[in-house]
Structure 1
């Protein structure tokens, strides 16, 4: 297990190098002058030129890239153009609200999605199955921003018990977490149902039934354990999307997280923050994929990681 983890960590290095090069190149293609953003829109030419020298923008692009890459390796992402603060501090401040939002949305959506998927599979072809899958299709089809606006209009504003802006108390997370996790719950329900039904048709399941084992034992010991393996993969991907894809929900609810920070940075052309956020999102997906692979061995000890 340890050797597998070490090998996977080493494999992350070339991936991150390639991604860093692509991110750097993409940022350089964006319109606008970073030196003017740093110095201010009304700054004189001399101040803009001084800012360009201070930020190292007068140097060749390869030299700029390796300087930025060296800073990344030491945990230094530079400074923001707007507030002159270290990018790592700005991102760290916004990371925890996004993490709490993702965890809250992930928790309820996974529990509900797994439950709905299993019930739908057990009631295959019956009205319960049709009803639950119809709701799941609706959950996938509804855009998060529209669902968020509906919750604000018909739940938060009439009753006045939920905040629709910011993160000031624990209850403020309820509506954003529900909005963020709705599509995940729907996806998990449909995926769990498919995986459950696929495993239920395997020969070893039919053999277990023929031996006279109780249906509940066959369901949870033989079907559910093996059906969870592809489900875990989907769980990891969905959690990664929740962390990196909460931009729309955070915008609707004015949530002070990474999504809100990314939108502000794009609007103000704060390139160091954009670069840092993109690298963080990529790193999140890589780490989550590693954790998912490790969970395989926990769910099914027969799997050996090499």
Structure 2
């Protein structure tokens, strides 16, 4: 296991290097003069040239990339153009709200998705199956921003129980978490139903039923345990989506997380923040994929990681 983890961590290095090169090149293609943005729109030509020298924009592109990469390796992500704060401290302030929102949305959506998927599989072809899967299709089809606006319009504003923006108290997370996790719950329900039915048709399940084992034992020990392997893959991908894909939801609810920070940075063309956030989102997905592979061996000891 340890050898496998070390090898996978080493494999992350070239992937992150390629991504960093692509991100750096993409940022350089964006319109606007970083020196002008840093110095301010009303700054003099001398101030702009001073900012250009300070930011190293007169250096060749390979030198700029090397300087940025070296700083990133050592934890120096640069300074924001808007507030002149260290980028790392700005990201740290937004990471916890995004993590809390992702965990809240993930928790309820996974539980509900698994329950709906299992019940739908057990009631295959009956009205319960059709009803639950119709709800799942509706959840997948509804855009998160539209659901968020509906919750604000018909839940938050009429009753005044939940806040429509910001994060000032624990209850403020409820509506954003529902909005963020709705599509995940729908995807998990359909995927769980499919995985459950696929495993239920295996020969060892038929043998267990033929031996007269209790239906509950067959369902949870033989079917659900083996169906969890593909489900875990989906769980990991969906959690990565929640961490990196909460941009729209955070914008709707003005949630002070990384998604909202990215939108604001794009509006103000704050390039160091954009670069750092994109790299962080990529690193999160790679790390989550590694954790998913490790969970395979935990769920099914027959799997050996090499």
Q: TM-score range by the shorter chain?
A: over 0.9
- The 5 Å alignment of 1:104-253 reads 104-253=104-253
Deviations 1:195-230 (A, max 9, x none): 000000011111111111111111100100110000
Cross-structure match for 2:99: 99
CA distance in 1, matches of 2:261, 2:211: 58
Deviations 1:169-193 (A, max 9, x none): 0000000000000000000000000
SS in 2 for 1:304: coil
Deviations 1:114-135 (A, max 9, x none): 0000000000000000000000
Cross-structure match for 2:264: 264
- What is the count of residue pairs matched by the alignment? 306
CA distance in 2, matches of 1:235, 1:45: 52
How does the TM-score come out when normalised to structure 2? 0.99
How does the TM-score come out when normalised to structure 1? 0.99
Deviations 1:133-191 (A, max 9, x none): 00000000000000000000000011100001100000000000000000000000000
Q: Give the drift of 1:104.
A: 0.1
CA distance in 2, matches of 1:40, 1:152: 36
CA distance in 2, matches of 1:224, 1:297: 16
Cross-structure match for 2:64: 64
Cα RMSD for the two superposed structures: 0.5
CA distance in 2, matches of 1:129, 1:59: 63
* Residue segments in structure 2 that go unaligned for 5+ positions in a row: none
